[in-house]
Amino acid sequence: MNQESNLDLIQRMRHSAAHVLADVVCEMFPETKLAIGPATEQGFYYDFQVDAPFTPSDLGLIESGMTKRISENLPFERQVVTREQALEMFSSNPFKVEIIKGLDDGAEVSMYQHGSFVDLCQGPHVKTTGDIKAFKLLDIAGAYWRGDERNPMLQRIYGTAFGSSVELSNYLEGLEEARTRDHRRIGRDMGLYFIDPVAPASPFFLPNGTTVYNLLVDYVRSLYVKHGYDEVRTPQLFSTDLWKKSGHYDHYIENMYVLGIDDREFGIKPMNCPAHAMIYASQRRSYRELPMRLADFGMLHRHERSGVTHGLTRVRTFSQDDAHIFCSEDQIGQEVSGFIAMLLEAYEEFGFTKISPTLSLRPGDRVGSDILWDRAEQELASVLDSIGLDHQAVDGEGAFYGPKVDFFVSDALGREWQLGTIQLDFSLPERFDLNFVDQGGDQQRPVVIHRAMLGSLERFLGVFLEHCGGALPVWLAPVQAVIIPIADRHVEYCTEVLDFFAAEGIRAQIDARNDRMNAKIRDAQVLKTPYMVIVGDREMDQDQVTIRFRTGESVSEMSKDAARKLLLETVESRRWDLGHTVAENS
């Protein structure tokens, strides 16, 4: 069986498992109203309206009921009825009625039946319930009908199914690993941030988290110096006249926060591009000033629905490593190439080695001439080809103002995340009447390149925490070393070691709590602290330290100077390992 047909079989099996799930839930909870239950890339789910939320114990009973139904080997049989017949059959279910009423008049309605259970469905399914091999119910969550907060809240049960128990077991092991790497759990354990209902989906960064956040910004700034960017700061609040001019008022207002002040309407900025256009337009520009690269770490606010917010990876308040490049048409290629070089340098630094770009081409609704689009698309494709980045072209997915490249990275668990993007924009210069004087003294329109490398810094941090499991490289760790005295009499020497490290900028702390050394080591490992510096009588008497790595190894009889050199060398080289070899040779 080829890969495509095997995937098709798996999807049919998962779709069928969703029907069996719905069958058993309706049998156990007769007042249930069914919504929808599709197969997904990783499994399946079904949404239900029930009198009371499902519990974990319910999940176990439902799973047992599904096992029984599967063992009955009931055939899946397709039926076709008229729209009117379907409305009569499902008249007591408002969700099914809404789906049916959305069909054209006179349309035929497809249903599938196994045993006595019948559900609206286009199919396809496996032949019988017995063809559902290895399955598992995974979780319960709330979900709004059709994803709209104005609609009823439903109960969603997630599950998955595979062709063999070995495949299922491997998948469940992967899920468990993903849970241990969940950035929300890591962020809590490491004291990086928290989110409170007083500011929904807007993180409070604690001292450790703020240190990491600022180090990310500092790293990006170092690249900006290297690649010729100028950083700017722009207001948070603009009259909606600006958002009308930029087009956001007509096309993006539902994602913005709007408020009235002094009988005027204002919008909190969800993105920086109109503000950067204002900076460009603030004075007459010459070709000698191009390319103009404006970078902005300003705080942005977007009204994300509460049902889709998630930890740091989907928030309402965030900052981006955002920049806009104003250039002439003949500079597009070199600017795109320069940005991608910077992006690849950064991704390598953070351990992302598998990068998959997609090239999104012109949509039907667009601005600009076909000649300009031809050139822009060819420029982007040519740059990707020239640096050997295989890419997938996607028809019709470009922005209305220009084509774009999105960069997907694979993390340590093989999951893909979209981080960077580069977008060509021919519309913004028109809307803001942006010009520059060319070599002949004539007025020309610039092109705007929107680009982000890490993207939202909040989202990047969430992704990166899951990629490294919280074991940040030493240069990015909020606390690089914790100094642990074995007894109170060692605290004074520990303070001497702390000052010795701090003089070179090493971020270190003393754990002088009245607790056992092993408990302090365990706590430091939970915090993913790279180095534990142990001090006892021998170390104090010989002016030495013992270094214990968060990976479990240790090196004793190391001088303070050797320990400091180890940490400095590891930080300055931005290496991912902890320098075990260097330590052992000290």
Are 109 and 120 a contacting pair, CB within 8 Å? yes
pLDDT band at 464 (very low <50, low <70, confident <90, very high): very high
Omega of the bond prior to 291 within 30 degrees of 0, cis? Answer: yes
Helix (H) or strand (E) holding 455: strand 447-456
Residue 3: pLDDT over 60:
no
Burial (0-12, 13-18, 19+ Cβ within 10 Å), 203: buried
Helix axes of 3-28 and 56-71: crossing angle, nearest 10 degrees: 110
| Active-site position among 183, 450, 490, 528 | 450
Q: Stretch 155-178: mean pLDDT, rounded?
A: 93
The one-letter amino acid code at 470 reads G
- The per-residue DSSP string of 491-535 comes to HHHHHHHHHHHHTTT--EEE---SS-HHHHHHHHHHTT-SEEEEE
Instruction: Count the alpha carbons within 13 Å of 293 in the hemisphere toward its beta carbon.
Output: 21
Q: Stretch 2-9: mean pLDDT, rounded?
A: 63
Q: What gap in Å lies between CA 376 and CA 50, rounded to an integer?
A: 53
Residue 12: closest CA among 97, 112, 103, 79 = 112
Classify residue 286 by its DSSP letter: B
Tokens 């803001």 correspond to what residue?
A: 432
pLDDT band at 581 (very low <50, low <70, confident <90, very high): low
Give the residue, 425 or 290, on which the prediction is more confident.
290
**Mean confidence (pLDDT) of the chain:** 92
The dihedral through the CA atoms of 504, 509, 512, 515 has a sign that is negative
- Is 227 part of the annotated catalytic residue set? no
Q: What gap in Å lies between CA 218 and CA 225, rounded to an integer?
A: 11
Q: What gap in Å lies between CA 393 and CA 385, rounded to an integer?
A: 12
Q: What is the pLDDT of residues 569-580, one digit of tens each?
A: 999 999 889 876
The one-letter amino acid code at 174 reads G
Q: Within 10 A of 101 (CB to CB), how many other CB atoms are there?
A: 11
pTM: 0.84
pLDDT band at 114 (very low <50, low <70, confident <90, very high): very high
What is the end-to-end Cα distance of the chain in Å, rounded?
58
| Active-site position among 301, 404, 451, 520 | 404
- Is 15 part of the annotated catalytic residue set? no
- Is 443 part of the annotated catalytic residue set? no
- Is 226 part of the annotated catalytic residue set? no
pLDDT band at 7 (very low <50, low <70, confident <90, very high): low
Residue 10: pLDDT over 50:
yes
Classify residue 577 by its DSSP letter: S
Q: What gap in Å lies between CA 8 and CA 340, rounded to an integer?
A: 36
Give the residue, 143 or 532, on which the prediction is more confident.
532
Q: What percent of the chain has pLDDT over 90?
A: 78
**Tokens (6 digits) for 333:** 């290629």
Name the H helices within 102-204: 165-180, 183-189
Residue 479: pLDDT over 70:
yes
Residue 368: pLDDT over 80:
no
Q: What gap in Å lies between CA 394 and CA 288, rounded to an integer?
A: 36
Q: What gap in Å lies between CA 100 and CA 455, rounded to an integer?
A: 41
Residue 178: closest CA among 417, 521, 12 = 417
Give CA separation, 352 vs 209, 344, 414, 419, 423, in Å.
Answer: 21, 9, 11, 11, 22
Give the residue, 234 or 251, on which the prediction is more confident.
234
Q: What gap in Å lies between CA 324 and CA 425, rounded to an integer?
A: 10
The dihedral through the CA atoms of 312, 317, 322, 326 has a sign that is positive
Q: Stretch 370-394: mean pLDDT, rounded?
A: 86
Q: How far is CA 569 from the centre of its chain?
A: 32
Q: What is the pLDDT of residues 130-147, one digit of tens each?
A: 999 999 999 999 888 988
The pLDDT of residue 65 is 96
Residue 2: pLDDT over 50:
no
Q: Stretch 165-183: mean pLDDT, rounded?
A: 92
Could you tell me which residues come within 8 angstroms of residue 131 by beta carbon, excluding any fewer than 6 positions away? 13, 16
Are 560 and 500 a contacting pair, CB within 8 Å? yes
pLDDT band at 371 (very low <50, low <70, confident <90, very high): confident
Give CA separation, 326 vs 139, 287, 434, 438, 446, in Å.
Answer: 48, 10, 10, 14, 6
Cα dihedral: 507, 511, 517, 521 (round 10): -40
Q: What is the pLDDT of residues 186-224, one digit of tens each?
A: 999 999 999 999 999 999 999 999 999 999 999 999 999
| Active-site position among 19, 269, 285, 324 | 324
- Is 320 part of the annotated catalytic residue set? yes
The pLDDT of residue 364 is 87
The pLDDT of residue 365 is 80
The pLDDT of residue 143 is 87
**Tokens (6 digits) for 199:** 């500011």
- Sheet of strand 481-485: strand arrangement: 508-510, 481-485, 531-535, 544-549, 554-559
Q: What gap in Å lies between CA 520 and CA 532, rounded to an integer?
A: 9
The pLDDT of residue 586 is 53
Classify residue 563 by its DSSP letter: H
pLDDT band at 382 (very low <50, low <70, confident <90, very high): confident
Q: How far is CA 342 from the centre of its chain?
A: 21
Cα dihedral: 291, 297, 300, 305 (round 10): 100
Q: Within 10 A of 475 (CB to CB), how many other CB atoms are there?
A: 17
| Active-site position among 23, 58, 296, 322 | 322
- Is 322 part of the annotated catalytic residue set? yes
- Is 523 part of the annotated catalytic residue set? no
Residue 127: closest CA among 164, 77, 79, 165 = 77
| Active-site position among 156, 181, 183, 302 | 302
Helix (H, G, I), strand (E, B) or coil at 127: coil
Helix (H) or strand (E) holding 258: strand 258-261
Residue 310: closest CA among 418, 407, 195, 216 = 195
